[in-house]
Homo-oligomer: A and B are copies of this chain.
Amino acid sequence: MIEFTDLKIEEGQPVYLQISRYLKRQIASGLIRDGDELPSRRVLSALLGINPNTVQKAFRLLEDEGLVSSNMGAKSLIRVTEEKKNALKREIIEENIGYMTQSVKQMGLSLDEAKALLEKYWGASL
């Protein structure tokens, strides 16, 4: 059963996207594997303090992308192959580093300064 212990819902972006992105990252990093059981819509919504419909929307999104399979009455399951996992990983990394690089470069930082900052924040983040 997937725990969702380290998912904190924040403001500023749709909650259903936060949930689906969280699961994608967990899948890409290998912390969640093929066949793993998801908590029910009701249970997860209670855990996160949100509406069951919002969880449903997140799960439905992942189902449409082939990462989750849902069956009437039974628990929903993670569905992921090695290829899908690697594709996800590449996608997420490019998204993050690409965006961050562009932004920091626009701030006028040099590559070395960016590396130094990366090192600094690497130690600070959990």
Name A's B-contacting residues (CB within 8 A). 13, 25-26, 28-30, 89, 92-94, 96-109, 111, 114-115, 117-119, 121-122, 124-126
Contacts and interface: CB of A to CB of B under 8 A. Distances in A.
Contact of A99 (B25, B26, B30, B96): B96
A96 B100 contact: yes
A interface, over-half SS: helix
Given A93-B117, A115-B115, A117-B93, A122 B108 contact: no
A29 B25 CA distance: 32
A67 to B, nearest CB: 16
B125 A119 contact: no
Contact of A103 (B30, B92, B107): B92
